[in-house]
Structure 1
Amino acid sequence: MATTVVTAPVAVAKAFSPGHITGFFEIPKVQGQDALHRGSRGAGFSIDRGISTTVHVFEGRTGAKILINGKAARHKDAEVSQWVVDYYLKGRQMFVKVEHEIGIPVGFGLGSSGAAALSLSYALNKALGARLSLEEAAQVAHEAELACKTGLGTVIAEFAGGFEMRTRAGAPGVGATERMSADGHKAVILCISPISTKAFLANRMDMINGLGGEMLGRLEKTRSVDDFLKMSSQFAETLGLTEGRCRAPVRALREAGFECSVALFGETVFTIVPKGRAGQAAGVLGRFEGTLLVCDIDGRGARITA
């Protein structure tokens, strides 16, 4: 009888990246060709749900296997992760098993592609002994998002964590963020239906630019949660995102006294409320179909966890 030899991994590492919601943004028209200098400016917040990624490294063979919540990933679902793996394995004779544990709905504007790329880059950097700084590892994830056209400013926001403004476009270390206070607040989110970021961005760039930049200038002066929500709402309404399946939940929240908006990009209604009112807001959104999340604002950003 043949004996199956199971080799043990030579290294294991695990990292976490929070999910993120963008309320409004712009893409500067004048940007360098270098991917590290490209991206978006805007404002949003990270949440305490996200993606944990474990990497197992094996010797003796080459390649990679990517699992999402325990199941082998289809290529279209792991494009960004494959890009990051290919970057790290270039010139290395290694095999890596990637296990993404996804704690947020995918495709609903919660920054899942950025969180997957960022947590994977952190884990691979540690497991392979690549010796990149965390900032440099985050730059790899930013490049992956741009190459796969799945995001522009999500990685730098998830790298920083918290309730933030992205004041200069680019990757971590090149772009710039400023943290604002959301102490004592929770995010209440209803994920209704996904939207393709690629398709949406292709058709509405002229509409997005200008408005997002003007809003960022105003938010830099007030730095308030309420103003962020009001501007996000105006931004979403301008793009037509508050119509369709989002219309009724948005109206219900406003009638209950909660300002709210729609995540970029997904049919996902969100609000940020004082913790004492989170149950009331959740009760309003809980009347509608979808996945309801009540989250804390993640103030730590992406990190190595094991």
Structure 2
Amino acid sequence: SLLASLKAVSDIFDLKMSNEDIAKIANRTEIHFKTGLGDVAACMNGGYICRKTPGIDGKIIRRYDMEKPISTVTFGPLRTDTVLKDPKAMERIKDAFRDECPKSPDDFFRISREFAENSGLISDKVREVLDECALRNIPASMTMLGNGVFAYGEKAPGILSKFGDVYMMKMSPNGFVSQNKN
């Protein structure tokens, strides 16, 4: 990730950059080169987020109640820059956004899935996995922006493994900025 790369450069060359400064540079770089739009802010302090205003210093509501395992499966790249440079895709994404904050992990996956559906970015393979998860009442959505699925709970790895290699993770309780303060 760009955050990790900038942190390494700062440490190797003893630049003494704060994690907050590294995050701001990473955010500006992603926006300038259209390789991301908000990933840095999401990674900064852990949990899952709901944005109320744009930008790295925007109003963000964080929740830390996602305690079950998160499983992912990926089917190759979805070029972020291609999507972010496409005015029609960006218009669909803008129209898909709902000003609603999740109140629970299940709510997070519901809102995320609705956004993925309404954005028009779901590939056939992602749709197949999402439909299988829905049949089994497993909260799941499309990775943003990616050609993959992330799903919640103990039953998710068994379903996702039918479609590819499963990667397991958990919600970070603190994220990038609150770790290793300079």
Q: What TM-score do you get using the length of structure 1 for normalisation?
A: 0.53
Q: Structure 1's 192 and 232: CA in aligned 2 closer, same or farther, altered over 3 A?
A: same
Offset of 1:304 from its aligned partner?
4.5
Deviations 1:38-86 (A, max 9, x none): xxxxxxxxxxxxxxxxxxxxxxxxxxxxxxxxxxxxxxxxxxxxxxxxx
Residues 178-187 or 291-300, more deviating: 178-187
Q: State the identity %.
A: 26
When you count strand as a share of all residues, which structure comes out higher?
1
Q: Distance in 2 between matches of 1:201 and 1:121?
A: 23
Aligned residues of 1:242 and 1:261 also touching (Cα < 8 A): no
Q: Distance in 2 between matches of 1:175 and 1:123?
A: 26
1:299 to 163, 170, 173: 173
Q: Distance in 1 between matches of 2:18 and 2:84?
A: 31
Offset of 1:284 from its aligned partner?
0.9
Q: Distance in 2 between matches of 1:231 and 1:197?
A: 21
Q: Structure 1's 247 and 211: CA in aligned 2 closer, same or farther, altered over 3 A?
A: closer
Q: How many residues are paired up? A: 177
1:155 to 36, 40, 44: 40
**Match of residue 218 from structure 1:** 100
Q: Distance in 2 between matches of 1:127 and 1:291?
A: 34
Offset of 1:183 from its aligned partner?
4.0
Deviations 1:224-253 (A, max 9, x none): 211211111111112333341112211111
Q: Distance in 1 between matches of 2:117 and 2:111?
A: 10
Matched, 1:268 2:153: no
Matched, 1:145 2:19: no
**Paired residue secondary structure (1:234):** helix
Greater than 4 Å deviation, 4+ residue runs: none
Matched, 1:193 2:76: yes
Q: Structure 1's 270 and 119: CA in aligned 2 closer, same or farther, altered over 3 A?
A: same
Structure ID, larger Rg: 1
In structure 1, the gaps of 5 or more residues are 1-115
Q: Distance in 2 between matches of 1:123 and 1:177?
A: 27
Q: Structure 1's 183 and 258: CA in aligned 2 closer, same or farther, altered over 3 A?
A: closer
Q: Distance in 1 between matches of 2:85 and 2:33?
A: 14
**Match of residue 241 from structure 1:** 121
Higher relative contact order (CA 8 A, sep 6+): 2
Offset of 1:133 from its aligned partner?
2.2
Matched, 1:177 2:60: yes
When you count helix as a share of all residues, which structure comes out higher?
2
Aligned residues of 1:151 and 1:197 also touching (Cα < 8 A): yes
Aligned residues of 1:164 and 1:180 also touching (Cα < 8 A): yes
**Match of residue 251 from structure 1:** 131
Q: Which amino acid aligns with 1:131?
A: K
Q: Distance in 1 between matches of 2:13 and 2:45?
A: 24
Q: Distance in 2 between matches of 1:157 and 1:183?
A: 15
Offset of 1:123 from its aligned partner?
2.5
**Paired residue secondary structure (2:147):** strand
Aligned residues of 1:167 and 1:175 also touching (Cα < 8 A): yes
Q: Distance in 1 between matches of 2:147 and 2:18?
A: 36
